[in-house]
Amino acid sequence: MCAVLERQWQVQKELLALAHEKGRVIISGDTVRLGEISAEEMRLISGSAAIERERSALIPGVTSLLGADGGGTVSAMAERAAPDESSALRKLQRELTETVRALRDANAANGELLDAQLEYTDIMLSVIAPRQDALNNYYGDDGRTRGGELRRAGFLDGVV
């Protein structure tokens, strides 16, 4: 079980490193690298899911062997395991918990950065080419194009 948890922790650490890089990439606006990071994250998440399936398959045998009450939790297994195994399980549990917490925080920060970037982009697009109206409806009730009353000049419409 320790070997599986160790592999899971390694994947989570890789995801955390990518999350930190992603924050820097979002700030710099490097969309090519952002796409590469997203692809790498998907690969790692897929690998993590495979490790989780492996861990889930091991749980019945380990809990049966240890006679662990409380199901297949790491804490329940650590209580019944030999001292060295128990110590290793508790350490891995702590490290995984801390890494997942840090990953969640980094992903939340990246979400806020992306929201800010999208808001900035929307503002800049509005300055450059303002929207005509909410429905993009340039025709009147009579089927003819509306006059210039809805048109606002944008930055690109100005005379240079």
- Note whether residue 160 is domain-resident: no
- CATH value at residue 80: 1.20.58
Q: Count structural domains, the chain.
A: 1
* pLDDT above 90: residue 153: no
CB 96 within 8 A of CB 88: no
Domain of 85 in residue numbering reads as: 2-131
Task: Let me know if residue 117 belongs to a domain.
Answer: yes
Flag whether 81 is in a domain. Answer: yes
Q: 145 forms bridges with which residues in the sheet? A: 139
Residue 57 in any domain: the answer is: yes
Reported as a single tens digit per residue, the pLDDT across 42-53 is 999 999 999 999
In a domain, 155, yes or no: no
Q: Is 83 inside a domain boundary? A: yes
Q: How confident is the model at residue 77 (pLDDT cuts 50, 70, 90)?
A: confident
pLDDT surpassing 90 at residue 97: yes
Has residue 65 got a pLDDT over 90?
no
Give domain status of residue 103, yes or no.
Answer: yes
Residue percentage of the chain with pLDDT more than 90: 51
